[in-house]
Amino acid sequence: MSSSTNQKHMILAAMLVASTSAFTAPSVKTSSTATSLKMTAVDPAVVTKKEYQDICGVSFDGDELTDRLKATNFLYPKHVEVIEDIAPIAEAMVDDILLETGDAAWQPQDYLPDLSQDNWYEEVKELREMGEQISDELLVVLIGDMVTEEALPTYQTLLNTFEGCDDPTGTTDSAWAKWSRGWTSEENRHGDLLNKYLYLGGRCDMRQIEVTIQHLITSGFNPKANKDPYKGFVYTSFQERATKISHGNVGKLAREKGDKTLGKICAMIAGDEGRHEKAYQTFVKEILKVRSCMG
């Protein structure tokens, strides 16, 4: 094998190592040979542009390499630019749409018997007597709504797949990450409240419901957004509206049958869903507005 061929092979190997290192974590221990290969300069007279592209998928032209890295980081780089542009809108939704947390916010226990009090038995008995008035058909819908709410871990996972809207550290201080965590904290109350109501009501096989919830979360959920924040927010806009309507209808029918406790519970949850719907619809409107200005 000629020295020229050896030199070409070494340079190609060096470029392959350098290219790979951009996408994988560096090893703790690096041999001197690998280090020297990474430092090898690319000589176009020895390695042609076509050969480099065959190995690395890009040319060694600076602009093309930048474009490649950007495309590798995001499937929808133009969509991410728009999402970054409307981040102030997300910040405003955090301030204006989401409620106060902790003691200042409503909690599931506000609408349920307090088992730490001496009159807990009377309160549970009253809840059960009112719950007996609702039909089996309405109860099935309520269970479906509760199971949907209990799958919240799946929905937060989905939000974190939307490019430009994720929370990579779990405590990221971006507008989109704060929205995601705040939205999740509010939604978390819904499943808790409905689950406890059904448990105290005593009309359901709670273990079978719990098995269903675990299967649902384990199986996951794919609305075919494919990491695209545009598709994701269109989906969430309709999803929030659907849950708002369903909870509102169950509450209305429950009140007509005399279950005032369930009526209040569903009204509170529907109110949350309505606020969240407004936020997601605002995101979609802003995306369309910015896109129209971009041509």
Residue pLDDT, tens place only, 206-243: 999 999 999 999 999 999 999 999 999 999 999 999 99
**9 an active-site residue?**
no
**276 an active-site residue?**
yes
Confidence band for 292, pLDDT divided at 50, 70 and 90: confident
Taking the model in full, what pTM does it have? 0.75
| Both structure tokens of 202 | 């005593």
pLDDT of residue 76: 87
| Both structure tokens of 146 | 């509760």
Helices (H), the chain: 3-21, 32-38, 49-56, 62-73, 77-85, 87-96, 120-131, 136-150, 152-159, 175-201, 206-219, 229-256, 260-294
**149 an active-site residue?**
yes
pLDDT of residue 72: 61
**123 an active-site residue?**
no
Range with the poorest average pLDDT among 98-102, 114-118, 195-199, 277-281: 98-102
Which of 236, 243, 261, 282 is an active site residue? 243
Dump pLDDT digits (tens) for 44-98.
Answer: 666 676 665 655 555 555 566 556 555 567 788 899 999 999 999 999 999 999 8
pLDDT of residue 42: 55
Give the range with max mean pLDDT: 17-31, 63-77, 141-155, 164-178: 141-155
Which of 150, 186, 259, 272 is an active site residue? 272
Residue 229 amino acid letter: P
Confidence band for 5, pLDDT divided at 50, 70 and 90: low
**64 an active-site residue?**
no
CB 71 within 8 A of CB 80: no
Q: Is the pLDDT of residue 248 over 80?
A: yes
Which of 163, 186, 240, 259 is an active site residue? 240
pLDDT of residue 145: 98
**215 an active-site residue?**
no
- Which is nearest to 151 in space by CA: 185, 191, 186? 191
CB 106 within 8 A of CB 265: no
**243 an active-site residue?**
yes
Give the range with max mean pLDDT: 31-35, 158-162, 188-192: 188-192
**179 an active-site residue?**
no
Which of 145, 187, 277, 286 is an active site residue? 187
Which of 148, 179, 190, 247 is an active site residue? 190
Q: Is the pLDDT of residue 1 over 60?
A: no
**110 an active-site residue?**
no
**Position of tokens 């058909």?**
137
Which of 51, 106, 184, 210 is an active site residue? 106
